[in-house]
Structure 1
Amino acid sequence: MANVVVVGSQWGDEGKGKIVDWLSEQADVVVRFQGGHNAGHTLVIGNQTYKLSLLPSGIVRGKLSVIGNGVVLDPHALVAEIGKLAEQGVTVTPKILRIAENTPLILSLHRDLDRLRESATDGTRIGTTGRGIGPAYEDKVGRRAIRLMDLADLDALRSKIGRLLSHHNALRRGNGQPEIAPETLYQELASVAPLVLPYMDNVVALLDKKRRAGNRILFEGAQGALLDIDHGTYPYVTSSNTVAGAAAIGSGLGPNAIDYVLGITKAYTTRVGEGPFPTELHDEIGRRIGERGHEFGTVTGRPRRCGWFDAALVRQTIRTSGIDGIALTKLDILDGFDTIKVCVRYRLDGEEYDHLPASQAAQERVEPIYEEIEGWKGSTAHARSWADLPAQAIKYVRRIEELIGAPVAILSTSPERDDTILVRNPFQV
């Protein structure tokens, strides 16, 4: 048996929900290891649709679900999400949900700062969701964060609040915002403490015990590898490491706990928010892909930018995440195109590159070099075997494998769970 890390191989929104749900049914433990409630998975189980933004996907199947220390946790958002699931018939108890005691918290002051920055008109707008993710990670790195375990000692909490506010109130004054009184922040935390503390645990010990017992562990990433704070399209990235290696850091298990990395990869490319997007389409084809693919954010509802498949970018994430195989999703959205383009390299100032340069200025100026592939007229929707696919669709899949240097382990042909072609089960390596 193996432990599996699932990451998005593009800018997120690759259709991870269906794949992680399928894998979570086979797993014993599902771990969320980075990000906050700014990303999410949509799970379709029977006639019920669940939209998760913080809770691990295994929660809807009653699997032991763990929020690791690499996540930044908005305790009020967590309580609200648990309540929403209860309305859908899913009861979340401390028996199936455990949260790392050293998980940093997102507070109202983080949301304030995030939104203040995003409303700036000086060209520094990143395109965040305004949910306080970045500022919370800043406080973690700045060693002034309030962590979940701090709610268990309210007497000692006041001094930690004072240290945090000495930083944030200075920022607020500089931006013409009123200061926050220590008692206000204390009450914000004290009121939610009894609601979230029952879920707190020593997750490192818990996961080590499960691993030694032979349990299958699924590490579930949010967003995509191209939004990684180090390896993504900086500065238009998220504030955490989204590559597969972060599963070890964000859960407390060593890297030898990872046996297989599955990269979820859309058959075309989308992006939400600001930042470079070499293959973006601003024409009727781009609109057609967006409409057919229902390309709107799970959490925010924001329309996604759409473009052709970028093999050069996915090649990069194959390297940075050590991806063993990909789950190719939404192939059916490309049905009916006469010609499909795939970016194989870039051109910049007369030179060709097989990767996206790290420079922000260069990323904004590169021109994609396309390879044209003949499309197909038949339908790939709901296909459950290779024999159900048009021959030209199979050629497209095989060409993608060649260009990115990784095999297709799973092929998804609709949001429905059973509309899947399994080549290799990541848990059985």
Structure 2
Amino acid sequence: MASIIIGSQWGDEGKGKLVDILSQDYDIVARCQGGANAGHTIVVDGKKIALHLIPSGILNERATCVLGNGLVIHLPTFFKEVEGLKQKGIKYENRLFVSDRAHLVFDVHQICDQLKEAELSNGASNDSIGTTKKGIGPAYSSKASRGGLRVCDLFHFDIFKKNLTRLVENKRKRFGNFEYNIEEELKRYEGYAEQIRPFVIDSVYFMNQAFKDGKKVLIEGAQSTMLDLDFGTYPYVTSSASSVGGACTGLGIAPNKIVNQIGVVKAYTTRVGAGPFPTELHGDEAEALRKEGGEYGTTTGRPRRIGWLDVVVLRYTGLINDFTELNLTKLDVLSNTPEIKIGVDYKYNGEVLKSFPASLEVLAQCEVVYETFKGWNTNLANCKSFDELPVEAKVYINRIEELTGRRVKWIGVGQDRSSMIIKP
């Protein structure tokens, strides 16, 4: 059966670290959605490894890694990451595979991503979505409008050439005659067709055969539930289903195959780009946490926005994903914070809301109700068990469990793979 690791906030919760740790016990690690707009940084023995497309499970040499049909893949980025694995001595041959049904991201998609953001901002940055400009949204748009190209199309290059030319012509009708050399792109992809061939599989058959053979599967979610196209703070969201439902459509597996939904929760909240953020902090307090937590995007390098933990968000994403367990990350970052808050409710027109509102207009008028906790002012780096944590940290964790109704099983107290406490 399968377990899935899902972000419970607006991304950057530290999912990659848990995937890396848990993948040691799994046969297959699969990604189901998103593209190179995802970013996972893993620290092993003090060395940082940043991944965008390739699952974090690649560091476990016993695990097979799969990029599922729900992804959109920019092949130059894929091959750059493969080269990075090779340089670090990480073996990937015969254990890294790409779905033949995955859609392709072209440079034209990235150009259109930038043009769309510029069009939205029009001099007012708060009107733009704040995408990574990696072409993900335009690629999913091509897919939804039935004009996209898939990995399997590379092996029928005459048809591929005709369809890519048509895609570019359609984008020029929409955005004008931007600079783009279609002949150079086609020449590159003719080479990529042979380069990618050893990685390509029928992932739907592969995944379902793996279940039939009794393999253990770990699904690595990208982005997070509050960025989900349906359930996030639309339109300030990603372009795919980044909650548990995306695993079924993005890998071609039935819902009953997923038996564990692990929610990853940062001990405070961050988000990158534009969009609402009810518990957001500003000024020196935000900057201190940003610096302490190294809160800069793995993919973009942009400084992340910082806020207190928001339990309204966690209860909402818990409903959608039915988390069986939680991984609380970056607890150590709060160690120098004398007073810590948790947003426990939203009030709108004087009444407490039952759940997270769909309307951004309503959300903008909500008042956050907070509970305040005493900080612990203690370095957690040497804590190896829950009992060794300061009492104030235990109070904070226990209250998160009470407010969410979910068990916290893993607690991150440092960057390294070994800095993870398992709560009894």
Shared topology, TM-score over 0.5? yes
Aligned partner of residue 135 in structure 1, secondary structure: helix
**1:53 aligned onto 2:57:** no
Cα distance per residue 1:41-83 (max 9 Å; x no partner): 1112224321000001121222210000111000111011111
TM-score by length of 1: 0.94
Deviation, structure 1 residue 333: 1.3
Q: Which runs of 4+ in 1 moved over 4 A?
A: none
User: Which residue number in structure 1 is paired with residue 174 of structure 2?
Assistant: 171
Aligned partner of residue 387 in structure 1, secondary structure: helix
Matches for 1:92-107 after TM superposition, within 5 Å: 92-93=92-93, 95-107=94-106
Q: Contact 2:261–2:321 (CA<8 Å) still a contact in 1?
A: yes
User: Which residue number in structure 2 is paired with residue 36 of structure 1?
Assistant: 35
Aligned partner of residue 4 in structure 2, secondary structure: strand
Aligned partner of residue 399 in structure 1, secondary structure: helix
Aligned partner of residue 327 in structure 1, secondary structure: strand
Matches for 1:307-346 after TM superposition, within 5 Å: 307-346=307-346
Aligned partner of residue 332 in structure 2, secondary structure: helix
**1:152 aligned onto 2:155:** yes
User: Which residue number in structure 1 is paired with residue 414 of structure 2?
Assistant: 414
TM-score by length of 2: 0.95
Q: Distance in 1 between matches of 2:155 and 2:117?
A: 33
Aligned residue pairs total 419
**1:132 aligned onto 2:135:** yes
Matches for 1:194-273 after TM superposition, within 5 Å: 194-273=194-273
Deviation, structure 1 residue 184: 4.4
Cα distance per residue 1:170-224 (max 9 Å; x no partner): 1132xx535x565444324213211112211001111111111111100001111
User: Which residue number in structure 2 is paired with residue 375 of structure 1?
Assistant: 375
User: Which residue number in structure 1 is paired with residue 80 of structure 2?
Assistant: 80
Q: Contact 2:131–2:273 (CA<8 Å) still a contact in 1?
A: yes
Q: CA RMSD in A?
A: 1.6
Cα distance per residue 1:220-243 (max 9 Å; x no partner): 011111000000011000000100
Q: Contact 2:108–2:168 (CA<8 Å) still a contact in 1?
A: no
One-letter amino acid matched to 1:136:
A
Q: Contact 1:24–1:30 (CA<8 Å) still a contact in 2?
A: yes
User: Which residue number in structure 2 is paired with residue 67 of structure 1?
Assistant: 67
Aligned partner of residue 250 in structure 1, secondary structure: helix
Aligned partner of residue 17 in structure 2, secondary structure: helix
Aligned partner of residue 303 in structure 2, secondary structure: coil
Q: Distance in 2 between matches of 1:220 and 1:231?
A: 19
Cα distance per residue 1:146-185 (max 9 Å; x no partner): 1000001112223322442342121132xx535x565444
Q: Distance in 2 between matches of 1:323 and 1:335?
A: 27
Stretches of structure 1 that go unaligned for 5 or more consecutive residues are 425-429
Q: Distance in 2 between matches of 1:165 and 1:419?
A: 48
Q: Contact 2:386–2:422 (CA<8 Å) still a contact in 1?
A: no
**Larger deviation: 157-166 or 198-207?**
157-166
User: Which residue number in structure 2 is paired with residue 427 of structure 1?
Assistant: none
Aligned partner of residue 104 in structure 2, secondary structure: coil
Stretches of structure 2 that go unaligned for 5 or more consecutive residues are none
| % identity of equivalent residues | 38
User: Which residue number in structure 2 is paired with residue 301 of structure 1?
Assistant: 301
